[in-house]
Amino acid sequence: MDRRAFIESCSAAATCLSAAAALPVFAADARPRAYARAVLTDEFGDPLKASSLKARANYVFHYPYVATPVFLLNLDTPVPPAQLTTEARESYVWPGGVGARRNVVAFSAICAHQLVYPTPQVSFISFRRNRAQKGVQDNLIHCCAEHSQYDPAKGAQVLDGPAPQPLCAVLLEHDPRADTLTAYATLGGELFDAFFRKYEMKLSLDVGPTARHPVAGRAPVRELEKFCKNPIQC
């Protein structure tokens, strides 16, 4: 999607939201940040079909950097745009789901509270089909560290817990003919600088010198259970 198409999409989304929910229309002052384009692939390197994603399963890929994880979700229902605000009080219109059914969404998997994230060894944060032990409802992204909960059907808006802002969205472009997905930007409150500061030593051991290299070309997607040995439920 080019810049003009994106702005038109955001304008349409703001209009729909305003009409449907009588929300005040804010100027969208958090803009998308473009990164290198990366086609999402399966584990064999072949382009992933959006329609092949299992409903409400956790998938992980890394974007926009080699060490920054992202949740990819098929929410199994069309997902409308949402008006959101970052911790810095910047408003933005998240454009909603993509794919033939507009049911596919992607968010940075770095918790906006204290930057907990999924690693190959363990994950304290994931999407839950069913209400977690300390959850408020089904179908939320739940962080077990201090129980922040994000609604992926509303742009990862915070519904509970100490997180001060939504998870940063990763914007995807869907090719309707090939049914493929391409990551091309982020939108919302990025936490990548803080993430790389906080985990500098760990990332240098786990990932090595490429941790902050940009992802470009292809981004392999795996189910969380295959990516991570110990996805914690709480």
User: Contact positions toward ligand FES, by CB under 6 A?
Assistant: 111, 113-114, 116, 143, 145-146, 148, 161-163
d(Cα 126, Cα 11) in Å, to the nearest integer?
31
- At closest approach, how far in Å is the CB of 109 from ligand FES? 11
Rounded to a whole number of angstroms, the minimum distance from the CB of residue 202 to ligand FES is 15
CB nearer to ligand FES: give 11 or 133. 133
With a CB cutoff of 8 Å and minimum separation 6, the contacts of 15 are 25
Least distance to ligand FES, CB of residue 135, Å: 12
Nearer to ligand FES, 179 or 190 (CB): 190
CA diameter of the chain: 51
Residues 55 and 129 sit within 8 Å (Cβ to Cβ): no
Quick one: 35 or 117, whose CB is closer to ligand FES? 117
What gap in Å lies between CA 169 and CA 108, rounded to an integer? Answer: 6
Residue 105 · residue 56 · CB < 8 Å: no
Task: Residue 13: name the closest of 73, 91, 112 by CA.
Answer: 91
Q: Please, which residue, 73 or 109, has the CB nearer to ligand FES?
A: 109
> What separation in angstroms does the CA of 15 have from each of 10, 55, 92, 152, 174?
9, 29, 13, 21, 23
CB of 116 to ligand FES, least distance (A): 4
In whole angstroms, the minimum distance from the beta carbon of 196 to ligand FES comes to 16
The residue among 93 and 145 lying less far from ligand FES, judged by its C-beta, is 145
d(CA 192, CA 195): 5
